[in-house]
């Protein structure tokens, strides 16, 4: 079956620090990979995605590269802000064609807190 493993949290950083949240996966088939973010009191929002090997997803200064050889999709940001404080979820889908990404397998989530 499919599974996603994220680095344990919580992660606490000072503003402008570099962020890495590790994510590795196992999948039957060829997955599409996602990072979702959940701000306090809100629903999950798609942050970025990658649908094939070596693709780099990016959004709001965050990046993640689909590494098939290491089955990883680590999230990075060069300089975090207080407003980045949220819960981050790595996820994948192996639905047909990878274009239909409602049925997702999630990691356990990583709580990020950024201090001024």
Partner 1 sequence: GAVVSQHPSWVICKSGTSVKIECRSLDFQATTMFWYRQFPKQSLMLMATSNEGSKATYEQGVEKDKFLINHASLTLSTLTVTSAHPEDSSFYICSARSWDGEAFFGQGTRLTVV
Query: Cβ closer to partner 1: 79 or 100?
Result: 100
Query: Cβ closer to partner 1: 34 or 66?
Result: 34
Dihedral Cα 39, 72, 22, 35, nearest 10 deg: 0
Candidates 79, 82, 30; CA nearest to 53 is 30
The alpha carbons of the chain give a radius of gyration, in whole angstroms, of: 14
Q: How far is the CB of 108 from partner 1 (least distance, A)?
A: 4
Q: How far is the CB of 16 from partner 1 (least distance, A)?
A: 28
Residue ranges binding partner 1 (CB under 8 A): 4, 36, 41-46, 89, 99-109
HSE-CB of 93 using CA atoms within 13 angstroms: 16
Query: Cβ closer to partner 1: 66 or 89?
Result: 89
């Amino acid at each position: 079956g499919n599974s996603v493993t994220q680095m344990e949290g919580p992660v606490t950083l000072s503003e402008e620090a570099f962020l890495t949240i590790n994510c590795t996966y196992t999948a039957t088939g060829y997955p599409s990979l996602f990072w979702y973010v959940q701000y306090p009191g809100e629903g999950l929002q798609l942050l970025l995605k990658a649908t094939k090997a070596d693709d780099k997803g990016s959004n709001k200064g965050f990046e993640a590269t689909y590494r098939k050889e290491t089955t990883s999709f680590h999230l990075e940001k060069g300089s975090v802000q207080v407003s980045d404080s949220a819960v981050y979820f790595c996820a994948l889908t192996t639905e047909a064609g990878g274009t239909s990404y409602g049925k997702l397998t999630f990691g356990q989530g990583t709580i990020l807190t950024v201090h001024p």
